[in-house]
């Protein structure tokens, strides 16, 4: 029986209907998210136009099968968390709310209203238990529900008291004193980093960031095999374990999935670790050197990797799927983040992904199957695992183990993203947080602490732009937030500037109005090649006078009115239909509620007209562009797939708009560079 089934009963929810009732929701938006994607999914892998199409289709097959089965272990364990990470990545790419709901449903099997985690025993000090904290933070950020934050705080408390060896490295578990395993870096460090970013404790942040880097560098110093560039499985700082070399303390073999955990941990931490710190360069170099070693160890025939990856000729050794998936994920993500050059790594990951499909993936009457997964590998314990070659080759090889399926989902999503990342190269998207400047209590902060929210990249709740921001990030763009009035120096560093719903006095006691100096600077910046996106709101929810003083420079006027009222979730009342054009080539059916209309005169022209009302307009001004919309309609509530009926295409429209903004910015940037 699930640990927390009573929670669902008390809240009047039937678990089966919650999960199975969502099956069959069509995914109508992914064609814009991945270039070459056919409109509508085929059931045959070979019919897809690109490898990215295939990867996304494969990810969906395994994810949908997981939703149908919807079985969660009785115990809180890291394996489930790997699947949750894969589901989260797929949700962020596709805006299919079922994947988010799968994670929430799973977590709610374990989490009580006070944040107690069923079957979790903090006194065991298992780093493995921390991995699921990433899903808890995601759920806390998106839903704002306290129990997820409280549960994450329990894991954070464990980390604060985690035993350490003499060098400051976390013990892998209470029962494995003084030992650091490469697995543990994936289990602990990404959660560690995400949690301190939530805490925003300026007095402790530098020390905490240094501690995260220290864990990796200890592993580098004690487990790196200089002959291969790969990493041994574990290090016993006491040198007392039977499996430990008496001189170095390290185990005897290089285990494929162990290095997979390490590669994933590095790339996940590097994604968010502050770039200006010296430790960032050390971690980046560590990842770069490991990536080179991984590619050197790739099997030349299959494109996959072996269980004992440094000994491919060893009798009984075999190609292993979870390690292969982890390496694909880490290398593909490394390319996308700019940590690795496209050559030779893109060739390597594409060959590996094709090899993985051929070697390990098959269809069965029961659903998709991923074979070739080493069920488990560890050191010490009862019965004792000695770390020998014979031991690693003796563990069972199984199918559809969650460690493998989760890694496969992550790898497939990264392969689906790979064609996108050049679109936003060298482009910075700036979001205003000066004219729109609202605050709310910070649930992770000290009493009285506040955090910014409402139409921001950092806001994951319904009111934020985090989901749309992810679409820019997937395309390789940089996101920044402008906290002060724009200056020529600030605007010179950005290519796209977004101003959303400027504050009224009812929203902010001392609003920052768009003044004449700002208007002059913005107008000149657009003329020089900037792209300005203005998003208003309906009457009573937006400061129109100063916004219109800016937009008038481009022939656009926001009318202080309100239409598209949507009573009692009557979403059809907010339906709009877009024309097929360069801004919205694929999305057709949009949802906007409580919006204002626009008036235009040259150089502006209408982009979207509904029943005679202009909803979206554009203007060419000098080298640049201005796009105006009567609503901030791309906020999370109506893009992340959790609320709107699936016949609306707001997420697809967000991808369309991101592509248009980035395309215009690239063309202007290239024109300016060619002239210079």
Active site residues per annotation? 183
d(CA 154, CA 158): 6
Instruction: Name the DSSP letter for residue 224.
Output: B
d(CA 519, CA 553): 9
Phi, psi of 32 (to 5 degrees): -85, -20
Contact 373, 401 (CB under 8 A): yes
Hey, which bits of 520-649 come out as E strands? 531-535, 556-558, 575-577, 589-591, 598-600, 604-610, 613-621, 624-629
For residue 69, what are its two tokens?
């089965």
Write the CB contacts of 351 (distance below 8 Å, at least 6 apart in sequence).
298, 303
Can you say how many angstroms the Cα of residue 351 is from the centroid of all Cα atoms in its chain? 24
Torsion of CA 612, 618, 620, 623, to 10 degrees: 180
d(CA 253, CA 389): 7
Q: Is 309 exposed, middle or buried (0-12, 13-18, 19+ CB in 10 A)?
A: buried
3-state SS string over 463-496? CCCHHHHHHHHHCCCEEEEECCCCCHHHHHCCCE
Determine the 3-state secondary structure of 535 from DSSP: strand
Angle at 655 between CA 651 and CA 25, to 5 degrees: 35
For residue 454, what are its two tokens?
């409402």
d(CA 532, CA 530): 6
DSSP string, 579-596: -SSSSSSS--EEE--SB-
CB atoms within 10 A of CB 80: 23
Angle at 324 between CA 321 and CA 326, to 5 degrees: 110
Query: Could you tell me the sign of the dihedral formed by the alpha carbons of 575, 580, 583, 586, in that order?
Result: positive
């Amino acid at each position: 029986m699930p640990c927390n089934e009573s929670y669902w009963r008390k809240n009047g929810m039937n678990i089966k209907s919650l999960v199975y009732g969502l099956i069959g929701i069509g995914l109508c938006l992914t064609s814009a998210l991945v270039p070459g994607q056919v409109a509508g999914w085929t059931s045959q892998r070979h019919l897809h136009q690109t490898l990215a199409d295939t990867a996304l289709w494969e990810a969906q097959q395994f994810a949908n099968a997981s939703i149908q089965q919807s079985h969660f272990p009785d115990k809180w364990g890291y394996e489930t968390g790997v699947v949750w990470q894969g589901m989260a990545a797929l949700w962020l790419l596709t805006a299919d709310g079922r994947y988010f709901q799968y994670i929430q449903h799973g977590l709610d099997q374990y989490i009580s209203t006070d944040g107690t985690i069923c079957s979790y025993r903090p006194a065991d000090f298992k780093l493995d238990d921390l991995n699921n904290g990433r899903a808890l933070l995601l759920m806390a950020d998106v839903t704002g529900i306290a129990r997820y934050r409280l549960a994450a705080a329990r894991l954070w408390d464990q980390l604060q008291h985690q035993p350490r060896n003499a060098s400051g490295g976390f013990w892998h578990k209470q029962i494995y004193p003084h030992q650091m395993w490469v697995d543990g870096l994936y289990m602990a460090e990404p959660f560690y980093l995400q949690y301190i970013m939530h805490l925003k404790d300026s007095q402790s942040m530098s020390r905490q960031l240094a501690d995260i880097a220290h864990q990796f560098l200890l592993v580098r110093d004690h487990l790196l095999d200089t002959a291969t560039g790969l990493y041994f499985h574990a290090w016993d700082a006491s040198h007392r374990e039977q499996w430990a070399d008496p001189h170095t303390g390290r185990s005897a073999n290089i285990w494929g999935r162990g290095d997979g955990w390490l590669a994933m941990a590095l790339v996940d931490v590097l994604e968010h670790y502050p770039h200006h710190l010296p430790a960032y360069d050390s971690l980046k170099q560590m990842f770069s050197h490991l990536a080179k070693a991984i590619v050197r160890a790739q099997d030349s025939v299959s494109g996959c990797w072996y269980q004992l990856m440094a000994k491919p000729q060893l009798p009984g050794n075999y190609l292993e799927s979870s390690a292969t998936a982890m390496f694909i994920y880490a290398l593909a993500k490394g390319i996308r983040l700019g940590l690795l050059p496209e050559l030779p790594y893109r060739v390597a990951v594409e060959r590996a992904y094709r090899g993985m499909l051929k070697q390990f993936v098959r269809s069965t009457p029961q659903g998709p199957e991923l074979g070739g997964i080493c069920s488990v590998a560890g050191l010490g314990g009862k019965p004792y695992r000695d770390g020998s070659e014979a031991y690693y080759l003796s563990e069972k090889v199984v199918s559809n183990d969650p460690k493998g399926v989760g890694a496969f989902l992550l790898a497939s999503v990264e392969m689906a993203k790979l064609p996108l990342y050049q679109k936003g190269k060298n482009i910075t998207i700036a979001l205003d947080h000066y004219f729109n400047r609202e605050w709310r209590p910070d649930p992770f902060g000290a009493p009285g602490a506040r955090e910014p929210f409402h139409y921001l990249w950092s806001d994951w709740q319904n009111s934020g732009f985090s989901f749309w921001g992810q679409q820019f990030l997937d395309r390789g763009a940089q996101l920044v937030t402008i906290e002060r009035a724009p200056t020529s120096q600030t605007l010179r560093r950005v290519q796209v500037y977004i101003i959303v719903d400027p504050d009224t006095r009812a929203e902010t006691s001392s609003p920052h109005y768009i003044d004449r100096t700002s208007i002059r600077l913005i107008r000149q910046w657009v003329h020089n090649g900037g792209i300005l996106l203005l998003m208003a709101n309906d009457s009573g929810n937006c400061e129109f006078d100063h916004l219109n003083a800016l937009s008038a420079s481009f022939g656009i006027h926001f009318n202080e009115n309100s239409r598209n009222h949507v009573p009692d979730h009557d979403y059809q009342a907010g339906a709009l239909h877009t024309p097929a054009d360069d801004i919205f080539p694929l999305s057709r059916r949009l949802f906007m509620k409580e919006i204002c209309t626009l008036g235009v005169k040259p150089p502006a022209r209408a982009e979207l007209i509904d029943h005679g009302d202009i909803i979206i307009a554009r203007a060419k001004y000098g080298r640049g562009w201005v796009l105006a919309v009567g609503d901030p309609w791309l906020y999370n509530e109506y893009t992340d797939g959790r609320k709107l009926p699936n016949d609306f295409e707001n997420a697809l429209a967000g991808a369309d708009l991101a592509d248009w903004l980035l395309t215009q910015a690239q063309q202007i940037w290239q024109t300016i560079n060619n002239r210079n």
